């Protein structure tokens, strides 16, 4: 099985981050924190929401709570997700 990746971006800070949702599109709180820190790690900055994203994305992002009451995100692809082979390293 090929692992899928999603590229998230923040056009205000011109930053990008790759996350790896599970097969249902679920991104856990640890991945959310990591994405937020990479995309907008400035304390008090109001450029973005829970994931640190801003501007057009390749996925629709739904912020929700998991069964344990922890914040999570679910991504719904608008196009094709990047597979391991297609992932580009900077």
Q: Does the pLDDT of residue 76 top 90, yes or no?
A: no
Tens of pLDDT along 28-71? 889 999 999 999 989 899 999 888 999 999 888 888 888 888 88
pLDDT at 37: 95
Contacts of 5 (CB under 8 A, 6+ apart): 18, 19, 20, 81, 82, 83, 84, 87
Q: Does the pLDDT of residue 1 top 60, yes or no?
A: no
pLDDT at 14: 95
pLDDT at 87: 45
pLDDT at 5: 86
């Amino acid at each position: 099985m090929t692992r899928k990746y999603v590229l998230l971006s923040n056009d205000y800070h011109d930053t990008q981050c790759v996350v790896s949702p599970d097969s249902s599109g679920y991104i856990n709180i640890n991945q959310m924190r990591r994405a937020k820190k990479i995309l907008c790690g400035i304390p008090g900055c109001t450029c973005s929401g829970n994931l640190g994203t801003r501007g057009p994305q390749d996925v629709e992002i739904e912020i929700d709570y998991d069964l344990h009451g922890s914040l999570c995100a679910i991504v719904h692809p608008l196009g094709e997700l990047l597979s391991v082979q297609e992932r580009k390293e900077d």
